[in-house]
Structure 1
Amino acid sequence: MQGYDKHAYELFAVTVDLAVLTVREGALHVLLVERGQQPYAGRWALPGGFLLPDESAETAARRELAEETGLGDVTGLHLGQLRTYSEPGRDPRMRVVSVAFTALLPDAPEPRGGGDAAQARWLPYDAAPPLAFDHGLILADARERVGAQLEHTCAATAFCPAAFTLGELQQVYEAVWGSTLDRANFRRKVLATPGFVEPAAGAARLTGGRGKPAALYRAGGATTLHPPLLRPSREGRSA
């Protein structure tokens, strides 16, 4: 293009970072890696890395996830773009702009460190250590985004196996929102929401109690919730 001089602009790098969330034993967990290289060697961080010239941001995100955690061909991985982080000084090496993603994963397999990650682990969200770079901010933004999605969309089923109980679905909401929900009200609202869930024909699961086996459901055809399933208010009223 006439009049354009690419050398007039400072070069910068583009990275991807992934806030991968799952629910384990009723608690929200996040996938973290221990950095094996400087900067922040030995510190925990979100999986991620530099974008290569011939790949899109989403392709880079999936590649980095596979390289650093071993989670490559993951069934049920729901990947969505969160936002772009571009504050100057967020990376001590150079000017780096990061495209961050959230990923929701049911039945999370165990990760293994690879690439420049010394190790990879699922850690409880509430017990996560201070993270390298601005990854603590990215992780907090990811939880807030997912929490909002649970109010207005059917995203909660992305944390569940193909067939799940309403109790397991409720655990997802409680783990992400950090709130205890009334069982009867939750069940009523879920079953009254068109297309949210539908029965898994002929299936039931023993839940460890003395009652009858719990009915199993699967995700319905809806993508949005009408009416929304709102978070408990500050006064403590449950959904």
Structure 2
Amino acid sequence: MAEKTTSTVPKGQKSQFAVPYYEISYDKFFQFGVSVDCVVFGYHENRLKILLIKRGAAPFMGMWALPGDLVYPNENIDVAAQRILRDLTGIDNLFMEQTKVYGQVDRHPAGRVITTGYYSLIDIAKHDPHASAWADGVYWMDLNEVPKLAFDHSDILKDALQILQQRVRHQPVGFELLPEKFALADLQALYEAILNESYDKANFRKRILSMNLLISLKENQKDVPHRPARLYKFDKQRYDELIAKGFSFEL
């Protein structure tokens, strides 16, 4: 006979078994599925985009979704996130961070599946995704044009965006997303795209330069339809210090 454990439903919480006290066989606890869903934000030409797949398998066949799939029984969840993203989109060795865990009982029509969200922010120009496995297509879509996604992926995307926006207010971003030499307007456009806010040009310039984060170069922009602006590059040592200590990016 399978070993049993007795569980108590917290006061005020409805039990799916409709009784306040119950016994469940241990084997019931090993009938859950575990998955990961990857939120990959891309930055390109002053626009923030999201990497989506067109599902080529049930459930929700033909719908837009985040790259995600089930974790193998013998697989570490972080390893699974890398594998699933590679299998579906061809993107490999991408640094990703966990966001939240989603465990709604009815979030997957096939049964109980608990998923962990991951997110990353990359330069689109440095990656070439392509559909593979059961994905019918892989697309970069403007964040403000994303339709209703399969499963609860719209919620996972919303939460990941909030976490990204909180992060960029306390850690400098741009080192991996901008070219080595850039104008202050390029950096401002990056922050405005991620935070969905507009900044006064003078205030932004003053705030950024006060951090001593940038090295002013004796170079200006070339081949631009306006007055060439001064170019800058990041001070790597100072950049790493600010990431370690944290900073407040508030204008």
Q: Contact conserved, 2:41 with 2:119, CA < 8 A, in 1?
A: yes
Q: Contact conserved, 1:112 with 1:120, CA < 8 A, in 2?
A: yes
- For the structure 1 residues 10 and 52, does the alpha-carbon distance in structure 2 shift closer, same or farther, using more than 3 Å as the test? closer
**SS where residue 58 of structure 2 aligns?**
coil
Q: Deviation of residue 202 (structure 1)?
A: 6.5
- The answer to whether the aligner puts 1:72 opposite 2:92 as a matched pair is yes
- For the structure 1 residues 178 and 11, does the alpha-carbon distance in structure 2 shift closer, same or farther, using more than 3 Å as the test? same
Partner Cα separation in structure 2 for residue 118 and residue 183 of structure 1:
43
Partner Cα separation in structure 1 for residue 92 and residue 219 of structure 2:
30
Partner Cα separation in structure 2 for residue 204 and residue 64 of structure 1:
43
- The answer to whether the aligner puts 1:95 opposite 2:115 as a matched pair is no
- Identify the residue that residue 153 of structure 2 maps to in structure 1: 135
Which segments of 5 or more consecutive residues in structure 1 lack a partner in the other structure? 231-238
- The answer to whether the aligner puts 1:35 opposite 2:52 as a matched pair is no
Partner Cα separation in structure 1 for residue 100 and residue 86 of structure 2:
21
Letter aligned with residue 222 of structure 2: L
Q: Contact conserved, 1:17 with 1:101, CA < 8 A, in 2?
A: yes
Equivalent residue in structure 2 for 1:7, among 23, 27, 30: 27
Q: Report 1:47-86 matches (<5 A).
A: 47-73=67-93, 77-86=94-103
The range that moved more, 205-214 or 6-15, is 205-214
- The answer to whether the aligner puts 1:21 opposite 2:41 as a matched pair is yes
Equivalent residue in structure 1 for 2:135, among 111, 117, 121: 117
**SS where residue 176 of structure 1 aligns?**
helix
Partner Cα separation in structure 1 for residue 223 and residue 160 of structure 2:
31
Q: Deviation of residue 217 (structure 1)?
A: 1.3
Equivalent residue in structure 2 for 1:214, among 221, 230, 246: 230
Q: Contact conserved, 2:181 with 2:231, CA < 8 A, in 1?
A: no
Equivalent residue in structure 1 for 2:185, among 164, 167, 172: 167
Could you state the TM-score of these two structures normalised by the residue count of structure 2?
0.80
**SS where residue 105 of structure 1 aligns?**
strand
* Structure of greater Rg: 2
Could you state the TM-score of these two structures normalised by the residue count of structure 1?
0.84
- For the structure 1 residues 107 and 120, does the alpha-carbon distance in structure 2 shift closer, same or farther, using more than 3 Å as the test? closer
Partner Cα separation in structure 2 for residue 57 and residue 118 of structure 1:
24
- Identify the residue that residue 200 of structure 2 maps to in structure 1: 182
**SS where residue 49 of structure 1 aligns?**
strand
Partner Cα separation in structure 1 for residue 76 and residue 95 of structure 2:
17
Over the matched positions of the two proteins, sequence identity in percent amounts to: 28
Q: Contact conserved, 1:51 with 1:57, CA < 8 A, in 2?
A: yes
Partner Cα separation in structure 2 for residue 215 and residue 87 of structure 1:
49
Q: How many residues align?
A: 225
The range that moved more, 21-30 or 96-105, is 21-30
Q: Contact conserved, 2:44 with 2:123, CA < 8 A, in 1?
A: no
Superposed CA offset, 1:170-194 (max 9, x none): 1121112211111221121112125
**SS where residue 58 of structure 1 aligns?**
helix
Partner Cα separation in structure 1 for residue 141 and residue 77 of structure 2:
25
Partner Cα separation in structure 2 for residue 204 and residue 26 of structure 1:
20
Letter aligned with residue 230 of structure 2: A
**SS where residue 243 of structure 2 aligns?**
coil
Partner Cα separation in structure 2 for residue 157 and residue 20 of structure 1:
17
Letter aligned with residue 165 of structure 2: G
